[in-house]
Amino acid sequence: MTIIIPLALAALIPHLDSGNARLLLVLGYAFYGLGFLLFLFIMGLLHDRLILHTMPGAPLAPSLWIALGPVGVGILALLALGHVAAPILPTGGATVAIISRLSATGLWGFGVWWLAVAVALLVRYLRTGPLPFGLGWWAFTFPLGAFTVASLTLARMWDTAALEVFGAALYIGLVAFWILVTANTLRGLRNGQVWKR
Hey, where are the domains in the chain? 5-189
Share of the chain above pLDDT 70, in %: 99
What pLDDT score was predicted for residue 145? 96
Question: How far, in Å, CA of 73 to CA of 142, rounded?
Answer: 11
CA-based nearest residue to 139, from 37, 70, 49, 79: 70
Q: Name which of 117, 5, 127 is nearest 63 in CA terms.
A: 117
Cα dihedral across residues 63, 67, 73, 75: positive or negative: negative
pLDDT for 77-102, tens place per residue? 999 999 999 888 878 888 988 999 99
What per-residue confidence (pLDDT) applies to 197? Answer: 64
Question: Looking at residue 144, what is its pLDDT?
Answer: 95
Q: Count how many Cα atoms sit within 13 Å of the Cα of residue 88 in the half-sphere of its side chain.
A: 21
What confidence score (pLDDT) does residue 104 get? Answer: 96
Q: How many CA atoms lie within 13 A of 83 on its CB side?
A: 18
**C-beta separation of 57 from 129 below 8 A:** no
Averages of pLDDT over each 10 residues, the chain, 197 residues: 91 92 94 90 87 85 90 95 89 88 96 94 89 87 96 95 96 96 91 76
